[in-house]
Amino acid sequence: MFKTLKRAVLLGGAAAGGAAVFYLTADTDTQMAIASATGPLLRMLDPELSHVIAIQATARGLMPRDPRPDPPSLATKVFGLSFPNPIGLAAGFDKNAEAVAGLMGLGFGFVEVGSITPRPQPGNPSPRVFRIPELKATINRYGFNNLGADAAQDHLAAFEKAAAADPSIKRGPLGVNLGKNKSSKDATQDYCIGLTRLGQHADYIVINVSSPNTPGLRALQGRKELEALVKQVKGTRDRMLWGPSGPPPLLIKVAPDLSEPDKRDIATVALGCGVDGLVVSNTTIQRPGEVAKYPAATEAGGLSGAPLFPMSTQVLSDLYRLTGGRLPIVGVGGVGSGEDAYKKIRAGASLVQLYTAFAYEGPALIPAIKRDLAACLARDGFKSVEEAVGADHPDIARPKGQAGGGRGAAGGRKSWWW
């Protein structure tokens, strides 16, 4: 009995060792495929638990690193910042900025962390995330569960230290997405606190006024409310002393559930108040098409993934027209392929983000999207992403070298604070 057990342990150890050697010596595509193949296993677990495991594995360096340079046609400059490729990770995956180095290493052109609120908060009771795998969709009502601004600041400082010591830690721009605490009476103050605590670590800042899971948050998208909010946050930013590369650009993240007057108001405020860009869009409270047939559709929360693509791309296209192509837009919602990313860019996105498709498909999706996007650009005769931005709106003449405001031509990170 003891002998059999000993033999089983030895055999198991040898198999695990062999598998580890195979993984470590495999090429990047194979490593990405192996990491992605854990998806079906993770999907057997509760969605929140598999999210936690994915974050912790990434934070501990257990994900593959993609050292390959991106196709030159994908390099782009937006808000004066240089992006190796326009494919970014959307907010909500790394809420506490715990896994930035690992996520950058997967080949994202940029990573947005958050939403981060000034004080830690637990979010809504579990269960609060629901999969609809047949449609590659998810419904979540997390409600800004996060460790708060102090913890995020510690994590971002640790990331910067690690990146300074190890040049192999790939650095694309880092966005910090700010939210408000559920119990807070003064939303503006919360965003200003987030900015003062975390602005030093951010290449750009996102004011998230579009999560459906914090009561009253979406009302901040109204014209008067948004104008007052943007003026205050921008005023706070501009009163702060920044390094040579200037203050971080300020973006507003909006919902896909907007009426025509809502969209006009957002465009007017964004242009009138000097917002640097828009993130379009967050999750939807609607249950379009097929979604309504699935039991999870009755759960409260925001829908993301493939079914969100048509409506979020329509709102992106509308806001591009309403702003006359003068504001850089980050297109997000239902992107799951290079062709989807290309459609967002043609509709008016200067940059693209994804979350749900990445959660379903795993790391191998990122190089596949980049490769297919480069092929779409080449197929239609575009030499760069910038050339294709807004191509579906030939009547709108986009300002050349659109850079938005913010960090100025030098881009990069500030060197000091106060």
Ligand X SMILES: Cc1cc2nc3c(=O)[nH]c(=O)nc-3n(C[C@H](O)[C@H](O)[C@H](O)COP(=O)(O)O)c2cc1C
Name the DSSP letter for residue 138. E
Among 79, 130, 142, 204, which residue sits at the site for ligand X (rule: CB under 6 A)? 142
Note whether 92 binds ligand X by CB under 6 A.
Answer: yes
> How many angstroms separate the Cα of 106 from the Cα of each of 66, 165, 334, 358?
5, 19, 20, 11
Note whether 85 binds ligand X by CB under 6 A.
Answer: no
Residue nearer to ligand X on the CB measure, 92 or 405: 92
Choose one: 4-12, 67-75, 102-110, 352-360; the region binding ligand X (CB under 6 A).
Answer: 352-360
Q: Please measure the distance between the N-terminal and C-terminal CA atoms of the chain and give it in whole angstroms.
A: 69
Note whether 345 binds ligand X by CB under 6 A.
Answer: no
Note whether 344 binds ligand X by CB under 6 A.
Answer: no
Active-site residues: which are they? 211
Among 173, 334, 362, 404, which residue sits at the site for ligand X (rule: CB under 6 A)? 334
Lookup: tokens for 273? 């108040």
Rounded to whole angstroms, the Cα distance separating 317 from 106 reads 29
| Residue among 405, 408, 354, 385 at smallest CA distance from 112 | 354
Q: Is 177 helix (H, G, I), strand (E, B) or coil?
A: strand
Residue nearer to ligand X on the CB measure, 121 or 304: 304
Among 58, 121, 140, 200, which residue sits at the site for ligand X (rule: CB under 6 A)? 140
Residue nearer to ligand X on the CB measure, 73 or 115: 115
Contact of 159 with 97, CB cutoff 8 Å: yes
Note whether 117 binds ligand X by CB under 6 A.
Answer: no
Note whether 333 binds ligand X by CB under 6 A.
Answer: yes
Note whether 311 binds ligand X by CB under 6 A.
Answer: no
Lookup: tokens for 388? 């294709």
Residue nearer to ligand X on the CB measure, 76 or 96: 96
| Residue among 157, 156, 159, 127 at smallest CA distance from 143 | 127
Note whether 247 binds ligand X by CB under 6 A.
Answer: no
**Beta sheet of 302-305, edge-to-edge order:** 129-132, 137-140, 302-305
Tell the smallest beta-carbon distance from residue 400 to ligand X (Å).
29
Rounded to whole angstroms, the Cα distance separating 202 from 174 reads 6
| Residue among 196, 19, 12, 206 at smallest CA distance from 110 | 206
| Residue among 77, 79, 159, 64 at smallest CA distance from 366 | 64
| Residue among 236, 228, 286 at smallest CA distance from 257 | 286
Choose one: 91-99, 291-299, 344-352, 403-411; the region binding ligand X (CB under 6 A).
Answer: 91-99
Note whether 96 binds ligand X by CB under 6 A.
Answer: no
Among 107, 305, 348, 367, which residue sits at the site for ligand X (rule: CB under 6 A)? 305
DSSP 266-277: HHHHHHHTT--E
Among 220, 335, 349, 373, which residue sits at the site for ligand X (rule: CB under 6 A)? 335
Note whether 129 binds ligand X by CB under 6 A.
Answer: yes
Note whether 337 binds ligand X by CB under 6 A.
Answer: no
Instruction: State the virtual CA torsion across 61, 64, 69, 73 in degrees, nearest 10.
Output: -110
Note whether 99 binds ligand X by CB under 6 A.
Answer: no
Tell the smallest beta-carbon distance from residue 238 to ligand X (Å).
24
Among 90, 315, 364, 369, which residue sits at the site for ligand X (rule: CB under 6 A)? 90
Residues 164 to 203 in contact with ligand X, rule: CB under 6 A: 177
Where does residue 295 rank: exposed (0-12), middle (13-18), buried (19+ CB within 10 A)?
exposed
Residue nearer to ligand X on the CB measure, 55 or 163: 55
How far, rounded to the nearest angstrom, does the alpha carbon of residue 214 sit from its chain's CA centroid? 19
Residue nearer to ligand X on the CB measure, 114 or 247: 114
Binding-site ranges for ligand X (CB under 6 A): 90-92, 95, 114-115, 129, 138, 140, 142, 144, 177, 208, 211, 253, 282-283, 304-305, 308, 332-335, 354-357
